[in-house]
Structure 1
Amino acid sequence: MTILLVEDDEVIRRSVTIALERYGYGVTSAGDGLSGLELFREGGHDLLLLDVMLPGLDGIGLCRRIRETSMDPILMMSARGDSLDVVSGLEAGADDYVVKPVDTAVLVARIRSLLRRAVYAPAAVPPPADRVRTERYRPGEHALLVFGDLAIDTAGLDISLAGRPLALAPTELRLLLEFAAHPGTVLDRQTLLRNVWDYGWDGDSRVVDLCVQRLRKKIGADRIETVRGFGYKLRR
């Protein structure tokens, strides 16, 4: 697995690179957003690790540019864990975030979690089943789940809306599958963090809320209902 690291602080960039290489990852790095965008366009990366504060093109803008053409997993790094930075990164399309200074064990755990649930597929093209990592649905199992004009083929992970293929980011797809497995059932945020994000500890519930918002924009806002004080549910 190869990671694209975009971090302007040379000391942090070197230390993170060394730490990730010790865990067996290949690392390509850049010191600013525009250089990071060029490396991304060259391809060959399985995950992107982006700092929020970058010269030229900042991490939020870089994340948005990447999301225009790619559903690769994106992990953001925020220096302070500032609420605005976190929310902006997640709204731009990031899958998760870590706070600097980064604990290596936490960083690697987050990376492994993202890679486990990653689906590599170009926009509007159904992903091949052998490139999918899910726990609830596995290649070979088949079910066609239909919710109005939303159809989910759980074997090939073909998602269509009104008969047209629908491209979802890896986390959005996992979230939709979790809801589809429990239609009409309220799922609280901690359950979603555990089953979708693979968190073995309490995570930031804002990750769930913002991913639900992104999913609603793609499948229709009225399909996922907010149950105040409890969580979310997919309408039958």
Structure 2
Amino acid sequence: MTRLKTIKAKTNNRSAFGVGFFISIGAGVGVVAGTLLGDLVAGMMYGAGAGVVVGAVVEMYRRQPSPPAPPHTAQPPRPTGLRWLIGCLVFLGVSALFGGVVLVGSPSGEWLHIPLTVLRYSPFSDFLIPGQILGTVFGVGSLLTVLALWMRPAWPLGTALTHSTGEYWAWSAAVALGLGQIIWIVTQILMVRGVDGLQVVYGTLGALIVMLACLPGVRQYFALRPDLLLSGRPR
């Protein structure tokens, strides 16, 4: 009976609308819109991105119940905000890796139907270097950060960051990726001297990554105890 009540309590505390729900709904709407407008892939990407953004906003404003304090030796439960942070980073990583590979494979932008004229105010003659930055920093970097946030490995190089932030190093990496995404989009807008829907989605996504990482529950989950901070090991 006690076990049944515990399971029921956990179910009630969990959001019925998870990351996958909003991505699926957004992608489905995007597929329909893309089909009607003649660009299925772009519609799906727009829709999935919008789904992630909407879902993350809903999660940030959803009232979080206070979980019972876990035993001192137990691993604390992952907060729901962390799952949304990981969902945003997964979407950013997969889409950026795809975009980077396509731009490196077709620096002229032909595969993505992007004319080279959009680069006329930039220092680049083609999309090779932007594609490399996109795929490496935001693609591979985001996916590695997701693994680190979920598994929390003790890497000496990353642990050095904890001395200035007080949080596990992967948290700092997530914040850096969110801020970097905002800078990337602002730089794009200045270079092409124009704004489109995809830039709005990804700029908002970068801001959400920063805000989700700064949620009290997420910061508390990655906070390091002073004794372990001195020894260089995660909690």
Which structure has greater strand proportion?
A: 1
TM norm structure 2? 0.30
Which structure has greater helix proportion?
A: 2
TM norm structure 1? 0.30
